[in-house]
């Protein structure tokens, strides 16, 4: 039987009914977490994934990008070893071997997200596109699934702006660039986003010339006090970053690609060998039959309440598809909320939870909680505490002295937010994540003993900055003077 004939037969075959407790659409971080936990509690579960198990994070996002960054970091260490008394060398980059390294990392993690593994948990896995046909039924291939509850966890995809000529030239997104096994001579990156800058630094360190084009300000969602640390390092490494450069068009230029930009000084054309579009992401809502299911959505994503329930009370939506922060750890957190609500009927909510974010350039840029601007707008009077890396002994030993930690504290000492730019910021931010989750005051951080010498000392040092404010308080100074008279 030919493929076309088989598809025609399937299209006219009666759908196979499946009735379950929970039907999950999307096999990324959030969907897999819901499926595994629900099955462990004895629920009948169907998981539908039309593409690759593991979703964006495993196949196109956090895992391959960090593997590529790790390769670039080793190459950069070889170039900059002279400061340690070791002769610097210009590393020989084997692009195919780097590509194999990235694929090897994905392959090492992939067994945790296979169809076979989840089938072994008692989960019915269907590898097909899913679509609602009414408020309580989904069809996928030859299957017709009804469930007590549904979870939409379809994630997001690269946003490709409507740039004239873009559809006529080849270009990468984060979904395709990791398939490339060759060195790129000159990579032009459209978008000064975290993804754009991470891939820009990785490719620059692996031997490519790199130009980043950003119509506004690079890393515009982050603290403008800390962003310059990152941009300065990237520029020092030879990356050209053009802020305020609006892309007007893209065209072929022989074997190259030409990008026309508009700046304050006029029009300009930049030529490179390859193009990467990293201009943001869009929620995957198309072809899900959301209208038939009575689920409200817009271009930002599916509309959900604090409990992640859609306008169809049978259906939850989690992760990127809801239009909120687009991180795997957010999708996993959402999964826990859905499980508490769907299985235990607990009033779990996704609001007011401190969600961290990290840009994994070198230096790293991490943040959790409120920014200084947000805190001032809400509370008015706040304290801002800072401590530089160069005053941390371990940072001096590692020659990682560029950066600082910044903590925003309320008038009564409650920690409101923290930002870190510098070495291992993504690791160091976790202490502040915990402090915010427990609604701690800054004095609690002073009580913590940090091992010496470590970078984590910076978190305690910045907490002691709160004494600086107290030292200037005349009431405190009088009290100390009075106590001193007692001997």
Distance from C-alpha of 459 to C-alpha of 259, rounded to nearest angstrom: 44
Tens of pLDDT, residues 228-256: 999 999 999 999 999 999 999 999 988 89
pLDDT of residue 475: 64
Quickly tell me which residue has 């859609």 as its tokens: 310
Q: Mean pLDDT, to the nearest integer, of 67-87?
A: 97
pLDDT of residue 7: 42
DSSP state of 220: T
First to last CA, the chain: 99
Residue 6 has pLDDT above 50, yes or no: no
Residue 40, SS3 per DSSP? helix
Q: Cα 293 vs. chain centroid, distance in angstroms?
A: 30
Note whether 27 and 146 are same-domain residues: yes
Residue 66 lies in a domain: no
pLDDT of residue 466: 83
Residue 391 has pLDDT above 80, yes or no: yes
**The tokens of 72 are what?**
């670039």
- Whichever domain contains 218, its CATH number is 3.50.50.60
In contact, 222 and 229? CB cutoff 8 Å: no
Q: For residue 123, give every residue at least 6 positions away whose Cβ sits within 8 Å of its Cβ, in sequence order, or none.
A: 35, 36, 39, 45, 46, 47
Residue 124 lies in a domain: yes
Note whether 195 and 303 are same-domain residues: no
* Mean pLDDT for the chain overall: 93
Residue 417, SS3 per DSSP? strand
Distance from C-alpha of 320 to C-alpha of 61, rounded to nearest angstrom: 13
Closest by alpha carbon to 333, among 358, 352, 313?
A: 352
**The tokens of 378 are what?**
């809400």
CA angle 308, 309, 312 (to 5 degrees): 155
Note whether 150 and 289 are same-domain residues: yes
Distance from C-alpha of 349 to C-alpha of 340, rounded to nearest angstrom: 10
Question: How deeply is 297 buried, as exposed, middle or buried, from its count of CB atoms within 10 A (0-12, 13-18, 19+)?
Answer: buried
Q: Mean pLDDT, to the nearest integer, of 209-233?
A: 97
Helices then strands, each counted (H, E), the chain: 16, 23
More confident residue, 324 or 404: 404
Note whether 152 and 184 are same-domain residues: no
DSSP state of 239: -
Note whether 29 and 131 are same-domain residues: yes
pLDDT of residue 10: 42
Quickly tell me which residue has 């609001």 as its tokens: 351
Residue 8 has pLDDT above 60, yes or no: no
pLDDT grade for 471, boundaries at 50, 70 and 90:
low
**The tokens of 85 are what?**
């008394």
Domain count, the chain: 3
pLDDT of residue 454: 97
Residue 49 lies in a domain: yes
Q: Mean pLDDT, to the nearest integer, of 310-321?
A: 98
Residue 22 lies in a domain: yes
- Whichever domain contains 380, its CATH number is 3.30.390.30
**The tokens of 236 are what?**
């020092």
pLDDT of residue 18: 95
pLDDT grade for 486, boundaries at 50, 70 and 90:
confident
Which structural domain range is residue 295 located in?
A: 14-53+114-158+282-344
Residue 417 lies in a domain: yes
pLDDT of residue 5: 42
Note whether 145 and 215 are same-domain residues: no
Q: Mean pLDDT, to the nearest integer, of 154-161?
A: 96
Distance from C-alpha of 420 to C-alpha of 388, rounded to nearest angstrom: 10
Note whether 145 and 48 are same-domain residues: yes
Note whether 173 and 142 are same-domain residues: no
pLDDT of residue 477: 60
Of 279, 298, 323, the last residue of a domain is 279
Residue 409 lies in a domain: yes
Proportion of the chain above pLDDT 70, given as a percent: 93
Closest by alpha carbon to 26, among 174, 128, 149?
A: 128
List, in sequence order, every residue forming a beta bridge with 249; answer none if it has no partner: 260
**The tokens of 75 are what?**
């190459």
Note whether 291 and 272 are same-domain residues: no
List, in sequence order, every residue forming a beta bridge with 147; answer none if it has no partner: 20
Note whether 271 and 331 are same-domain residues: no
Note whether 203 and 338 are same-domain residues: no
Quick count: other Cβ atoms within 10 Å of Cβ 295? 23
Note whether 462 and 380 are same-domain residues: yes
Residue 97 lies in a domain: no
Residue 135 has pLDDT above 90, yes or no: yes
In contact, 34 and 153? CB cutoff 8 Å: yes
Residue 477 lies in a domain: no
């Amino acid at each position: 039987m030919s493929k076309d004939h088989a598809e025609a037969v399937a299209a006219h075959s009666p759908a196979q009914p499946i009735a379950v407790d929970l039907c999950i659409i999307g096999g990324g971080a959030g969907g897999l977490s819901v499926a595994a936990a629900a099955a462990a509690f004895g629920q009948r579960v169907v998981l539908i994934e039309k593409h690759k198990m593991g979703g964006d994070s495993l196949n196109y996002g956090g895992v391959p990008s960090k593997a590529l960054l790790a390769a670039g970091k080793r190459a950069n260490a070889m170039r900059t070893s002279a400061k340690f008394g070791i002769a610097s060398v210009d590393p020989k980059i084997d692009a195919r071997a780097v590509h194999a390294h990235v694929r090897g990392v994905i392959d090492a993690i992939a067994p945790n997200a296979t169809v076979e593994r989840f089938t072994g948990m008692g989960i019915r896995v269907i590898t097909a596109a899913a679509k609602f046909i009414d408020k309580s039924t989904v069809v996928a291939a030859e299957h017709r699934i009804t469930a007590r509850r549904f979870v939409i966890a379809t994630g997001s995809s690269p946003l490709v702006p409507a740039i004239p000529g873009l559809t006529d030239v080849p270009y990468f997104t984060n979904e395709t660039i990791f398939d490339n096994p060759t060195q790129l001579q000159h990579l032009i990156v459209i978008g000064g986003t975290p993804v754009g800058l991470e891939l820009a630094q990785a490719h620059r360190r692996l031997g490519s010339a790199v130009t980043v084009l950003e119509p506004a300000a690079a890393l515009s969602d982050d603290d403008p006090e800390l962003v310059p640390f990152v941009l300065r390092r990237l520029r020092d490494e030879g990356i050209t970053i053009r802020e305020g450069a609006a892309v007007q068009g893209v065209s072929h230029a022989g074997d190259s690609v030409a990008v026309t930009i508009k700046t304050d000084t006029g029009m300009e054309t930049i030529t490179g060998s390859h193009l990467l579009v990293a201009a943001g992401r869009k929620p995957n809502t198309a072809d899900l039959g959301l209208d038939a299911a009575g689920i409200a959505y817009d271009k930002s994503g599916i509309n959900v309440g604090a409990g992640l329930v859609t306008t169809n009370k049978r259906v939850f939506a989690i992760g990127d598809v809801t239009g909120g922060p687009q991180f795997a750890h957010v999708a996993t957190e959402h999964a826990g909320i859905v499980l508490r609500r769907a299985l235990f009927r607990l009033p779990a909510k996704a609001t007011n939870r401190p969600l961290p974010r990290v840009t994994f350039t070198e230096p790293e840029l991490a943040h959790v909680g409120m920014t200084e601007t947000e805190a001032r707008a809400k509370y008015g009077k706040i304290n801002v505490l800072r401590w530089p890396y160069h005053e941390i002994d371990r940072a001096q030993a590692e020659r990682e002295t560029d950066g600082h930690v910044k903590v925003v504290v309320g008038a009564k000492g409650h920690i409101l937010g923290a930002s870190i730019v510098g070495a291992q910021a993504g690791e160091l931010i976790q202490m502040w994540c915990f402090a915010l989750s427990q609604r701690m005051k800054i004095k609690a951080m002073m009580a913590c003993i940090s091992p010496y010498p470590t970078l984590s000392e910076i978190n305690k040092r910045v907490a002691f900055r709160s004494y600086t404010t107290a030292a200037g308080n005349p009431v405190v100074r009088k009290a100390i003077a009075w106590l001193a008279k007692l001997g």
